[in-house]
Structure 1
Amino acid sequence: MDDDERPRRRSTEGDFGAASLLASESLESYSLDELDARIALLEAEIDRIRTHRGKTAAHMLAAESLFRPKQP
């Protein structure tokens, strides 16, 4: 089975896998250009997560409105 086909381990509360590894990594050896590239990459990932969160929230609202019991 390829790595892409395996289910990914979901993060538990307080454990965000790669993000916690990045947060604990020393930045001392990075140049300014490398730090700028890293910031750009992380900002792009934040945008991707926010977009996905928005879609998930909209999906949840649609499901709630469809399945919410009718008020008398």
Structure 2
Amino acid sequence: MNDDQERSTKTTRHEIGSDLSAISPDELRLRITELEAEIARISAELAQKEASRRAADSFFTPKV
């Protein structure tokens, strides 16, 4: 297995609060990119759930 194959099969798993001192700048940039993508994914899911909740609240709220 060459270096490129090893890098592509190696999964980056970031643990909150982990020691970052031994990680290369390139790896840190990669982690930032992955975490930003995860934040966007979670934010989209949250927005969808909030919209569903608002729609349900609107439907089930008594009309006065």
Report the TM-score when normalising by structure 2. Answer: 0.74
Higher RCO by CA contacts (8 Å cutoff, separation 6 or greater): 2
Corresponding residue SS for 2:15: helix
For residue 57 of structure 1, the aligned residue among 41, 45, 50 is 50
For residue 34 of structure 1, the aligned residue among 9, 27, 40 is 27
**Is the counterpart of residue 68 in structure 1 residue 61 in structure 2?**
yes
Query: What are structure 1's unaligned runs of at least 5 residues?
Result: 1-20
> 2: distance between equivalents of 1:61 and 1:24?
35
Q: What is the Cα deviation at residue 70 of structure 1?
A: 1.3
Query: What are structure 2's unaligned runs of at least 5 residues?
Result: 1-13
1:48 equivalent in structure 2:
41
* Percentage identity across paired residues of the two chains: 41
Moved over 4 A (4+): none
